[in-house]
Amino acid sequence: VTHDSQAVGGIDIGGTKIAVAIGDHDDRLLDVARFPTRIERGPHAILDETLETLSALARRANVRIASVGIGCAGPLDRGRGLVLSPPNLPGWDELPIVDLVERRLDVPVVFDNDANAAALGEHRQGAGRGLHSLVYMTMSTGIGGGVIVVDKLVHGVADAAGEIGHMVVQPNGPACNCGARGCLEAICSGTAIARRARERIGAGAESSMGAIAGGVEAITAATVARAALDGDPVARHLWDETIEYLALGIGNVLVTLAPEAIIIGGGVAAAGDQLFEPLRARVRQNVTMLPPDRVTISPAALGGDSGLYGALALGRSVLAEPR
């Protein structure tokens, strides 16, 4: 086996789908495969399919996998290489994923949570390419985040750095899954936006959103965005309120870290200019301690693959370290 035929494996594990890729040392993607998680099979069957898929990609590309990076839904214990009961991976309780993959493939493995992996992917190959500091946020069912300072992920105590979704933006606000109240996630995640819409309608507000979604229970954040564009007053108010709280959270991040960029991924970011234009304007109004125009606020460039590119970058990083 020549040096040139070595490759890096990347694995992005989520509750609904898993993406597996191989890449070379120069940030190139050689091949990728995706399949549904089918969570009911349990972690070992899922890992089997994941590693068999990775091996198949390597055989097809005629390369040998020399290291593997994994991005996985958290919480995790990075130090011990454990997955700790993520809400969307039921049954993955203290799963020693690093040991399992290392033993199976006999290569070094490094892993991190999915939001940190996505931050790294955007930094290396996406909207943050060439920057030295950025904060990545994903807005979907929850709000996750990852912080890069001086080209490196910041982990902090208990790997809790970057948990932007749990920044309190409304004292005594809505209850959050984490146990606190008024977290950004409890107001601005896709799930929370939809919940707030259903609450308004339940309280008697007249809105087209139920009709657009095919039932009040079927309303999503995308329904709210669409109805707001159509001029539905309830939806417009909800959308403005979402921007307001999001701008508050991002303003707090700006004065704490003054990063070069805020990069937003996840389903809510698919609203595009409808989200980003008023958000940039509101942040500019709010932030007084730095020139906010020097911080770009932009959508993730790699879309749903930010985490996968980050997983490959994690794999490359462990290769560079002596073992």
Q: Which residues bind Zn ion (CB under 5 A)?
A: 166, 176, 178, 180, 183
If the CB atoms of residues 66 and 147 are measured against Zn ion, the closer one turns out to be: 147
| Distance of closest approach, residue 142 Cβ to Zn ion, in angstroms | 9
If the CB atoms of residues 70 and 73 are measured against Zn ion, the closer one turns out to be: 73
| Distance of closest approach, residue 252 Cβ to Zn ion, in angstroms | 15
Strands (E) across 218-300 are located at 261-265, 296-299
| Distance of closest approach, residue 183 Cβ to Zn ion, in angstroms | 3
**Short-list 53, 56, 45, 9, CA closest to 29:** 9
**Short-list 116, 240, 265, 148, CA closest to 187:** 240
If the CB atoms of residues 61 and 180 are measured against Zn ion, the closer one turns out to be: 180
For residues 218-251, one letter each, b for 16 or more C-beta atoms within 10 angstroms of the residue's C-beta and e for the rest, the string is ebbbbbbbbbbeeebebbeebbeebbbbbbbbbb
| Distance of closest approach, residue 168 Cβ to Zn ion, in angstroms | 8
| Distance of closest approach, residue 85 Cβ to Zn ion, in angstroms | 17
| Distance of closest approach, residue 256 Cβ to Zn ion, in angstroms | 18
Beta bridge partners of 265: 138
Q: What is the DSSP letter of 25?
A: T
If the CB atoms of residues 178 and 229 are measured against Zn ion, the closer one turns out to be: 178
Strand, coil or helix: 74: coil
Residue 33's Cβ-count burial label (10 Å; 0-12, 13-18, 19+) is middle
Give the contacts of 3 (CB within 8 A, at least 6 positions apart): none
Cα separation of 155 and 163, whole Å? 10
If the CB atoms of residues 170 and 298 are measured against Zn ion, the closer one turns out to be: 170
If the CB atoms of residues 178 and 290 are measured against Zn ion, the closer one turns out to be: 178
